[in-house]
Structure 1
Amino acid sequence: MPPSPTTVRLACLGFVFDRHAQALIRQGAPAGFELAFAERPQDMSEAMLAESEVLLVTAPVTDAMMARAPRLRFIQKWGTGYDKIDTEAARRRGIAVAITAGVNADTIAEHAIALMLATLRRIPLADRALREGRWISGEIRPVGQRLYGKTVGIVGFGNIGRAVARQLRGFDGEVLYFTRGGPVAGELAHGARFVPFEELLAQSDIVTLHCPGGAANAGMFDAAALARMKPGATLVNAARGDLVVEADLVAALTSGRLAGAGLDVFAEEPLRADSPLRSLDNVVLTPHSAGSLMDDVPIMAAHAFRNITAFLGGETLPARDVVVPPAAPRAPVSSKGRDDDTR
């Protein structure tokens, strides 16, 4: 039977939509939604793309994909970083784009702090050595550091950057931050102080990145910026891989200019098998998993579905979620007569 005219066909595209997440998302889907899932763009059939009225994504969405999706009216990003969505093409095609602002900010902030601790204390190295039968406490002592009392510089002070500042309070250090927009109202309530970028680099024992990627910030941490960091500092990146020039970071780590790095994101993902980052004992690596907890899936899904149903109902979306407003959206296409098993 063909679906009801009120059926909303939604394609979920991206690595986070594994079978465990799918079950939770299906549980939270409103009545009348027909969901299809693809963990990789190449797994998304042409029919699935052509039939979808809404995309829920972590994967890239290109102009070419939009061209093959005549019914597409709304793109909902799972999370906040939308640099992989061609927003100019969406705007030109009348396709609205939204994010789920702030939903997993505390989760990502927690992961950034975990990277700080793991890197400073050389926890992965100690774990690996112990499993191999080596007792290396004497080797770790000269290179290990504590987080307590350190100065942490936060680059980017949105929801995640502010969450990092709040969570660092228990470590009794100084928290600095830089954002291109200048000081943020109520900064002291978050336990942080605005400083210029150069001062943040020079004063921070740890620099943690929480700003957008894309053309505006690509290569922000190149050889010159890394050289201006405090000698022996640690770099943490749980934002976007293109913020850091990886070859320059490797050089700073191998020379001893920087003490360590905790990285959740990379210029190319998955991280290449031949990446020199894999061989460095002063680097902690995680697979872009800072925001990937099952705890967050129902919360994220509920937020996404609120935005989607609001858009479809002609209601106003939360301003902080809107990336491309529905100023001149595509007209809805009736689902009458469509093949029910098209995916």
Structure 2
Amino acid sequence: MISSPLTWIPRPVADEALAQLRRHGDVALGYGPGAVDFRSVSARTTGVLLRTAEFRRRDIDLAPNLCIIARHGAGYDTVDVDAATERGIPVTTTGAANAGAVAEHVFALLFAVARNVTTADRAVRDGRWVSARGALTGLELGGRTMGLLGGGRIGRRVAAIASALGMTVVVSDPALSAEDAEALGVQVLGHDELLAASDVLSLHLPLTRDTEKIIDRSALYALPAGAILINTARGGLVDEHALRKCLDDGQIVGAGLDVLACEPPADGNPLLAHPRTVLSPHIAGQTDAALRRVALEAAAAILATYRGETPAGAINGVVVGG
């Protein structure tokens, strides 16, 4: 049991989660009026609740009483997990809380790409109704194959929606059991087999040393010609210069990207000006309902740790009190 907890939160989270944390200890906010710099409270900090902020070894070393790092979301590449594990600090994520929101955004991007939504919108606003109506022909998704790299919570939601659209769904994920695959109505393939089969490729992997730029030039050219790429996971999974070349030569007919390797993107990002990309600013998980669920789940993990319990959602195998 932590007797005098202090939770540091560098970016805004749902008020309900803040209220829960304040009922059980102090909260220091790194945003808004009276924003507190982490260094000024690091000696007292027992927990951090992170949205997009990075938290590296240097930050962990500043906090001798730190006992949990809770991510507000599914990814954890902004956290030095190795440094936390060395200290016996659990790192938690909230992948289930926003899985539905992210899965829906996959299809927002996919429909926009397949049916030329953003191009058509600009044409109508620019007075090019007649020429656009004659020039724009969309792609039907029914009957095509959607490949999922990653079959976790989000990937499974995507699979269900794709199946409802009449798509064949194939998944590459060694953790997906044969029983789960059968229940989902999907086929499990190896990495190379999946690429060769995917008319639409949707990425649902964490960003690690092993997955960085996993979608490189060879992977993109392994897809069927005219494929669509959707990425709502992490921008670093994709070699953006290779993707730009594949868009230019038509190997990839379009890409819907909620994430980029550098966020916000630099002016020279090769994908910003491409007419066959649809981009959004890392908002796939941002619905009112999902943000509330994610914040409450992260707060619950923090409070469980303060009570001496092992929190749900720990990704580094740390057992509190173990």
The answer (yes or no) to whether the contact 2:70–2:302 under 8 Å persists in 1 is: yes
Is 1:84 aligned to 2:81, yes or no?
no
Question: How many pairs align?
Answer: 316
Task: Name 1:118's counterpart in structure 2.
Answer: 112
Which residue of 308, 314, 321 corresponds with 1:321? Answer: 314
What TM-score, normalized to structure 2? Answer: 0.91
The answer (yes or no) to whether the contact 2:67–2:305 under 8 Å persists in 1 is: no
Q: How far did 1:6 drift?
A: 4.3
The answer (yes or no) to whether the contact 1:116–1:147 under 8 Å persists in 2 is: no
The answer (yes or no) to whether the contact 1:8–1:33 under 8 Å persists in 2 is: yes
Which residue of 132, 139, 144 corresponds with 2:135? Answer: 139
- 1:64-96 Cα distance to aligned partner (Å, 9 max, x none): 011112221111111121122111111222322
What CA distance in whole angstroms lies between the structure 1 residues aligned with 2:316 and 2:260? 24
Q: How far did 1:206 drift?
A: 0.2
What CA distance in whole angstroms lies between the structure 1 residues aligned with 2:136 and 2:31? 40
Aligned positions of 1:115-264 closer than 5 A: 115-135=109-129, 136-141=132-137, 144-181=138-175, 183-264=177-258
- 1:273-296 Cα distance to aligned partner (Å, 9 max, x none): 222211111110010111122221
1:159 and 1:184, CA in 2 relative to 1: closer, same or farther beyond 3 A? farther
Q: How far did 1:265 drift?
A: 0.8
Instruction: Kindly provide the amino acid, as one letter, of the partner of residue 12 in structure 1.
Output: I
What CA distance in whole angstroms lies between the structure 2 residues aligned with 1:152 and 1:280? 23
Report the 3-state secondary structure (helix = DSSP H, G, I; strand = E; otherwise coil) of the residue aligned with 1:259.
Answer: strand
Is 1:38 aligned to 2:30, yes or no?
yes
Q: How far did 1:189 drift?
A: 1.7
Which of 74-83 and 45-54 deviates more? 45-54
1:226 and 1:39, CA in 2 relative to 1: closer, same or farther beyond 3 A? farther
- Cα-Cα RMSD: 2.2
Unaligned runs of 5+ in 2: none
Is 1:297 aligned to 2:291, yes or no?
yes
1:316 and 1:49, CA in 2 relative to 1: closer, same or farther beyond 3 A? closer
Task: Name 1:8's counterpart in structure 2.
Answer: 5
What CA distance in whole angstroms lies between the structure 2 residues aligned with 1:38 and 1:153? 40
Task: Name 1:48's counterpart in structure 2.
Answer: 41
1:28 and 1:134, CA in 2 relative to 1: closer, same or farther beyond 3 A? farther
Q: How far did 1:208 drift?
A: 0.2
Which residue of 60, 66, 69 corresponds with 2:60? Answer: 66
1:43 and 1:190, CA in 2 relative to 1: closer, same or farther beyond 3 A? farther
The answer (yes or no) to whether the contact 1:90–1:324 under 8 Å persists in 2 is: no
Q: How far did 1:312 drift?
A: 1.3
- 1:202-254 Cα distance to aligned partner (Å, 9 max, x none): 11110000011110111111111111110000000111111100000000001
What CA distance in whole angstroms lies between the structure 2 residues aligned with 1:237 and 1:86? 23
1:56 and 1:253, CA in 2 relative to 1: closer, same or farther beyond 3 A? same
Q: How far did 1:148 drift?
A: 2.2
Report the 3-state secondary structure (helix = DSSP H, G, I; strand = E; otherwise coil) of the residue aligned with 2:58.
Answer: helix
Q: How far did 1:322 drift?
A: 4.0
Task: Name 1:25's counterpart in structure 2.
Answer: 17
The answer (yes or no) to whether the contact 1:28–1:298 under 8 Å persists in 2 is: no
Instruction: Kindly provide the amino acid, as one letter, of the partner of residue 314 in structure 2.
Output: D
The answer (yes or no) to whether the contact 2:7–2:45 under 8 Å persists in 1 is: yes
What CA distance in whole angstroms lies between the structure 2 residues aligned with 1:55 and 1:87? 14
1:43 and 1:7, CA in 2 relative to 1: closer, same or farther beyond 3 A? closer
Unaligned runs of 5+ in 1: 330-343
Which of 94-103 and 284-293 deviates more? 94-103
What TM-score, normalized to structure 1? Answer: 0.86
Instruction: Kindly provide the amino acid, as one letter, of the partner of residue 79 in structure 2.
Output: I
Report the 3-state secondary structure (helix = DSSP H, G, I; strand = E; otherwise coil) of the residue aligned with 2:266.
Answer: coil
- 1:40-61 Cα distance to aligned partner (Å, 9 max, x none): 9x97341133332100112221
- 1:156-185 Cα distance to aligned partner (Å, 9 max, x none): 001111111012222011000101446453
The answer (yes or no) to whether the contact 2:305–2:320 under 8 Å persists in 1 is: no
1:198 and 1:183, CA in 2 relative to 1: closer, same or farther beyond 3 A? farther
What CA distance in whole angstroms lies between the structure 2 residues aligned with 1:210 and 1:197? 13
Which residue of 253, 260, 280 corresponds with 1:266? Answer: 260
